Amino acid sequence: MVKFSRTWWGDRFIQALESFTDENRLRRGRAYASGGKVISFKVDLNQITALVKGSVNPYFGVYKEPTYTISIEIKPIPAHSWTQIIQKLSSSASIVSRLLLNEVPENIEDSFAELGLHLLPHSNQDFITNCSCPDYSNPCKHIAGVYYLVASQLDSNPFLLFELRGLSASELQRKLADSKLGKVLVSELNSPEINLEPARTLYPEIVKKSLEQKPTVKEFWLGNKRLPSDIEVPVSSNVSAVVIKKQGDFPAFWQKNNSFIDTMSELYQRVKIKNQHLI
Protein backbone atom coordinates (compact mmCIF):
# COMPACT_ATOMS: atom_id res chain seq x y z
CA MET A 1 0.00 0.00 0.00
CA VAL A 2 1.30 3.46 -0.91
CA LYS A 3 2.33 5.56 2.09
CA PHE A 4 1.17 9.13 1.52
CA SER A 5 2.92 10.72 4.47
CA ARG A 6 6.35 10.43 6.09
CA THR A 7 5.86 12.87 8.97
CA TRP A 8 3.92 12.39 12.19
CA TRP A 9 1.60 15.32 11.44
CA GLY A 10 0.72 13.91 8.02
CA ASP A 11 0.03 10.49 9.57
CA ARG A 12 -2.12 12.10 12.28
CA PHE A 13 -4.12 13.94 9.60
CA ILE A 14 -4.84 10.63 7.85
CA GLN A 15 -5.63 8.86 11.14
CA ALA A 16 -8.11 11.60 12.01
CA LEU A 17 -9.85 11.16 8.65
CA GLU A 18 -9.92 7.38 9.01
CA SER A 19 -11.56 7.65 12.43
CA PHE A 20 -14.79 9.09 10.97
CA THR A 21 -14.73 8.06 7.29
CA ASP A 22 -15.90 4.77 5.77
CA GLU A 23 -12.93 2.43 5.22
CA ASN A 24 -14.14 1.29 1.78
CA ARG A 25 -14.36 4.88 0.58
CA LEU A 26 -10.89 5.61 1.91
CA ARG A 27 -9.43 2.51 0.26
CA ARG A 28 -10.83 3.55 -3.11
CA GLY A 29 -9.68 7.12 -2.43
CA ARG A 30 -6.11 5.86 -1.89
CA ALA A 31 -6.28 4.15 -5.26
CA TYR A 32 -7.44 7.39 -6.89
CA ALA A 33 -4.65 9.39 -5.26
CA SER A 34 -1.88 6.91 -6.15
CA GLY A 35 -3.26 6.24 -9.63
CA GLY A 36 -2.95 9.83 -10.83
CA LYS A 37 -6.70 10.40 -10.98
CA VAL A 38 -6.45 13.77 -9.22
CA ILE A 39 -5.73 16.19 -12.04
CA SER A 40 -5.17 19.25 -9.88
CA PHE A 41 -5.98 20.69 -6.49
CA LYS A 42 -5.54 24.09 -4.89
CA VAL A 43 -5.47 25.17 -1.25
CA ASP A 44 -6.57 28.69 -0.34
CA LEU A 45 -6.55 28.92 3.45
CA ASN A 46 -9.36 26.60 4.57
CA GLN A 47 -10.76 26.13 1.04
CA ILE A 48 -9.63 23.20 -1.13
CA THR A 49 -10.72 22.81 -4.75
CA ALA A 50 -9.73 19.97 -7.04
CA LEU A 51 -10.42 18.27 -10.38
CA VAL A 52 -10.58 14.46 -10.29
CA LYS A 53 -10.98 11.97 -13.13
CA GLY A 54 -13.95 9.69 -12.61
CA SER A 55 -14.65 6.15 -13.79
CA VAL A 56 -16.89 4.88 -16.55
CA ASN A 57 -20.03 3.47 -14.91
CA PRO A 58 -23.01 2.55 -17.10
CA TYR A 59 -25.10 1.97 -13.95
CA PHE A 60 -25.06 5.72 -13.35
CA GLY A 61 -25.27 6.48 -17.09
CA VAL A 62 -21.57 7.43 -17.32
CA TYR A 63 -20.12 6.10 -20.60
CA LYS A 64 -17.11 8.43 -20.96
CA GLU A 65 -14.39 9.15 -18.44
CA PRO A 66 -15.75 12.20 -16.63
CA THR A 67 -14.03 14.97 -14.66
CA TYR A 68 -15.52 15.90 -11.31
CA THR A 69 -15.14 19.13 -9.38
CA ILE A 70 -14.34 18.80 -5.69
CA SER A 71 -14.71 21.44 -3.00
CA ILE A 72 -13.64 20.92 0.60
CA GLU A 73 -14.06 23.55 3.30
CA ILE A 74 -12.46 22.94 6.68
CA LYS A 75 -13.97 24.69 9.67
CA PRO A 76 -11.74 27.70 10.45
CA ILE A 77 -10.68 28.79 13.92
CA PRO A 78 -12.05 32.26 14.75
CA ALA A 79 -9.60 35.19 14.67
CA HIS A 80 -9.99 35.98 18.39
CA SER A 81 -9.16 32.34 19.22
CA TRP A 82 -6.01 32.54 17.08
CA THR A 83 -4.84 35.43 19.27
CA GLN A 84 -5.13 33.20 22.34
CA ILE A 85 -3.43 30.30 20.56
CA ILE A 86 -0.46 32.43 19.46
CA GLN A 87 0.00 33.65 23.04
CA LYS A 88 -0.10 30.06 24.26
CA LEU A 89 2.38 28.83 21.64
CA SER A 90 4.71 31.79 22.20
CA SER A 91 5.12 30.90 25.87
CA SER A 92 7.02 27.69 25.01
CA ALA A 93 10.56 28.01 23.62
CA SER A 94 10.52 24.44 22.23
CA ILE A 95 7.30 25.04 20.27
CA VAL A 96 8.34 28.44 18.92
CA SER A 97 11.79 27.21 17.85
CA ARG A 98 10.44 24.17 16.01
CA LEU A 99 7.71 26.15 14.25
CA LEU A 100 10.27 28.73 13.13
CA LEU A 101 12.32 25.81 11.73
CA ASN A 102 9.29 24.56 9.73
CA GLU A 103 8.56 21.65 12.08
CA VAL A 104 5.40 20.85 14.00
CA PRO A 105 5.99 19.81 17.65
CA GLU A 106 4.39 16.52 18.68
CA ASN A 107 2.67 18.17 21.66
CA ILE A 108 1.20 21.11 19.77
CA GLU A 109 -2.33 19.72 20.05
CA ASP A 110 -2.06 20.09 23.85
CA SER A 111 -1.89 23.88 23.47
CA PHE A 112 -5.04 23.84 21.33
CA ALA A 113 -6.85 21.37 23.62
CA GLU A 114 -6.31 23.64 26.65
CA LEU A 115 -8.39 26.26 24.81
CA GLY A 116 -11.02 23.72 23.71
CA LEU A 117 -9.81 23.76 20.09
CA HIS A 118 -8.16 21.36 17.62
CA LEU A 119 -5.54 21.89 14.94
CA LEU A 120 -5.98 18.51 13.25
CA PRO A 121 -9.41 17.33 12.06
CA HIS A 122 -11.43 16.05 14.99
CA SER A 123 -14.73 14.90 13.48
CA ASN A 124 -16.75 15.04 10.26
CA GLN A 125 -18.23 18.30 11.60
CA ASP A 126 -14.90 19.95 10.71
CA PHE A 127 -15.57 19.44 6.97
CA ILE A 128 -18.06 20.73 4.43
CA THR A 129 -17.47 18.73 1.25
CA ASN A 130 -19.04 18.57 -2.17
CA CYS A 131 -18.39 16.55 -5.33
CA SER A 132 -20.12 16.81 -8.71
CA CYS A 133 -20.17 13.01 -9.10
CA PRO A 134 -23.49 11.10 -8.93
CA ASP A 135 -22.44 9.16 -5.80
CA TYR A 136 -24.85 9.95 -2.96
CA SER A 137 -22.27 9.21 -0.23
CA ASN A 138 -20.29 12.05 1.24
CA PRO A 139 -17.32 11.91 1.37
CA CYS A 140 -17.10 9.93 -1.85
CA LYS A 141 -13.98 8.21 -3.18
CA HIS A 142 -13.03 11.34 -5.16
CA ILE A 143 -13.05 13.50 -2.03
CA ALA A 144 -11.13 10.78 -0.15
CA GLY A 145 -8.47 10.81 -2.89
CA VAL A 146 -7.98 14.56 -2.41
CA TYR A 147 -7.70 14.00 1.37
CA TYR A 148 -4.68 11.75 0.84
CA LEU A 149 -2.93 14.17 -1.50
CA VAL A 150 -3.43 16.98 1.01
CA ALA A 151 -1.83 14.73 3.65
CA SER A 152 1.19 14.19 1.37
CA GLN A 153 1.52 17.98 0.94
CA LEU A 154 1.74 18.36 4.71
CA ASP A 155 5.16 16.66 4.68
CA SER A 156 6.80 19.49 2.72
CA ASN A 157 4.56 22.26 4.09
CA PRO A 158 3.62 21.66 7.74
CA PHE A 159 2.12 25.17 7.94
CA LEU A 160 -0.63 23.90 5.68
CA LEU A 161 -2.21 22.57 8.90
CA PHE A 162 -2.60 26.16 10.10
CA GLU A 163 -3.79 27.41 6.71
CA LEU A 164 -6.52 24.78 6.66
CA ARG A 165 -7.70 26.26 9.95
CA GLY A 166 -7.72 29.81 8.56
CA LEU A 167 -4.28 31.25 9.47
CA SER A 168 -1.73 31.79 6.70
CA ALA A 169 1.84 30.60 7.13
CA SER A 170 3.28 34.13 6.73
CA GLU A 171 0.98 35.53 9.40
CA LEU A 172 1.77 32.68 11.80
CA GLN A 173 5.54 33.13 11.43
CA ARG A 174 5.24 36.91 11.73
CA LYS A 175 3.28 36.65 14.97
CA LEU A 176 5.66 34.07 16.41
CA ALA A 177 8.69 36.15 15.42
CA ASP A 178 7.16 39.22 17.15
CA SER A 179 6.83 37.40 20.48
CA LYS A 180 9.55 37.79 23.16
CA LEU A 181 10.90 34.27 22.67
CA GLY A 182 10.53 34.56 18.92
CA LYS A 183 12.68 37.71 18.77
CA VAL A 184 15.48 35.99 20.68
CA LEU A 185 15.34 32.88 18.49
CA VAL A 186 15.14 34.86 15.24
CA SER A 187 18.18 36.93 16.24
CA GLU A 188 20.11 33.70 16.87
CA LEU A 189 18.99 32.19 13.58
CA ASN A 190 20.04 35.34 11.73
CA SER A 191 23.38 35.70 13.54
CA PRO A 192 26.43 35.53 11.24
CA GLU A 193 28.03 32.17 10.88
CA ILE A 194 31.44 31.69 12.50
CA ASN A 195 34.06 30.71 9.95
CA LEU A 196 36.21 27.87 11.22
CA GLU A 197 39.91 28.07 10.44
CA PRO A 198 41.89 24.83 10.14
CA ALA A 199 44.71 24.44 12.66
CA ARG A 200 48.21 24.59 11.25
CA THR A 201 49.52 22.07 13.79
CA LEU A 202 48.20 19.65 16.37
CA TYR A 203 50.71 20.88 18.96
CA PRO A 204 50.84 24.20 20.81
CA GLU A 205 52.94 26.75 19.01
CA ILE A 206 56.21 27.80 20.68
CA VAL A 207 56.11 31.44 21.64
CA LYS A 208 59.44 33.17 22.04
CA LYS A 209 59.78 35.58 24.97
CA SER A 210 62.55 38.09 25.33
CA LEU A 211 64.41 38.13 28.68
CA GLU A 212 64.69 41.45 30.43
CA GLN A 213 68.05 40.44 31.97
CA LYS A 214 70.31 37.70 30.74
CA PRO A 215 71.32 35.19 33.46
CA THR A 216 74.95 34.77 34.47
CA VAL A 217 76.77 31.53 33.75
CA LYS A 218 76.41 30.48 37.39
CA GLU A 219 72.67 31.21 37.40
CA PHE A 220 72.28 29.37 34.11
CA TRP A 221 73.82 26.16 35.47
CA LEU A 222 72.77 26.32 39.13
CA GLY A 223 69.52 28.24 38.89
CA ASN A 224 68.19 31.01 41.08
CA LYS A 225 66.93 28.72 43.86
CA ARG A 226 68.94 26.30 45.95
CA LEU A 227 67.99 22.64 45.92
CA PRO A 228 66.66 21.15 49.21
CA SER A 229 69.39 19.69 51.41
CA ASP A 230 67.29 16.65 52.40
CA ILE A 231 65.41 14.53 49.90
CA GLU A 232 62.81 12.12 51.16
CA VAL A 233 63.27 8.67 49.73
CA PRO A 234 59.94 6.88 49.23
CA VAL A 235 59.61 3.78 51.36
CA SER A 236 58.80 0.70 49.35
CA SER A 237 56.07 -1.66 50.46
CA ASN A 238 57.18 -4.49 52.72
CA VAL A 239 55.48 -7.14 50.64
CA SER A 240 55.40 -6.40 46.95
CA ALA A 241 54.43 -9.90 45.85
CA VAL A 242 50.90 -9.94 44.45
CA VAL A 243 50.56 -13.71 44.94
CA ILE A 244 51.05 -13.43 48.71
CA LYS A 245 48.53 -10.62 49.09
CA LYS A 246 46.01 -12.25 46.78
CA GLN A 247 44.98 -14.93 49.31
CA GLY A 248 44.35 -12.41 52.10
CA ASP A 249 45.34 -12.52 55.76
CA PHE A 250 44.02 -16.04 56.38
CA PRO A 251 44.29 -18.25 53.29
CA ALA A 252 42.91 -21.80 53.39
CA PHE A 253 46.32 -23.41 53.93
CA TRP A 254 47.24 -21.04 56.83
CA GLN A 255 46.23 -22.67 60.10
CA LYS A 256 47.73 -20.14 62.51
CA ASN A 257 45.90 -17.33 64.31
CA ASN A 258 48.17 -14.49 63.20
CA SER A 259 47.99 -12.81 59.79
CA PHE A 260 49.71 -14.57 56.90
CA ILE A 261 50.60 -11.24 55.21
CA ASP A 262 52.07 -9.80 58.44
CA THR A 263 54.17 -12.93 58.90
CA MET A 264 55.46 -12.79 55.35
CA SER A 265 56.16 -9.05 55.71
CA GLU A 266 58.32 -9.73 58.73
CA LEU A 267 60.11 -12.53 56.87
CA TYR A 268 60.77 -10.31 53.84
CA GLN A 269 62.13 -7.56 56.09
CA ARG A 270 64.50 -9.95 57.90
CA VAL A 271 65.79 -11.33 54.60
CA LYS A 272 66.26 -7.79 53.27
CA ILE A 273 68.29 -6.64 56.32
CA LYS A 274 70.36 -9.82 56.40
CA ASN A 275 71.34 -9.50 52.73
CA GLN A 276 71.99 -5.76 52.64
CA HIS A 277 75.68 -6.34 51.98
CA LEU A 278 74.79 -8.15 48.76
CA ILE A 279 73.07 -5.12 47.26
Among 37-51, 60-74, 228-242, which is the least confidently predicted range?
228-242
What pLDDT shows up at residue 71? 92
Report the pLDDT averaged over residues 168-176: 85
Over residues 127-148, the mean pLDDT reads 85
CA distance 88 to 170: 18
Distances (CA, A) of 247 to 241, 254, 261: 11, 10, 9
pLDDT greater than 70 at residue 3: no
Identify the helix (H) or strand (E) that includes residue 73: strand 67-74
Cα separation, 116 vs 113, whole angstroms = 5
Taking the C-alpha atoms of residue 261 and residue 174, their distance in angstroms, rounded to an integer, is 79
At 178, the amino acid letter reads D
**Residue 1 pLDDT:** 47
Residue 4 has pLDDT above 70, yes or no: no
Mean pLDDT for the chain overall:
79
- Beta carbons of 156 and 11 less than 8 angstroms apart: no
Residue 163 has pLDDT above 70, yes or no: yes
Is the per-residue pLDDT at 168 higher than 70? yes
Write out pLDDT tens, residues 199-245. Answer: 777 787 788 877 777 777 877 777 776 666 777 666 555 556 677 77
Domain ranges of the chain: 8-189
User: Which has the closest alpha carbon to 104: 178, 190, 32, 176?
Assistant: 176
Report d(CA 188, CA 93) in Å as an integer.
13
**Alpha carbon of 82 to those of 9, 57, 126: distances in Å?**
20, 45, 17
- pLDDT, one tens digit per residue, over 91-123 is 888 888 888 877 788 888 888 888 888 888 877
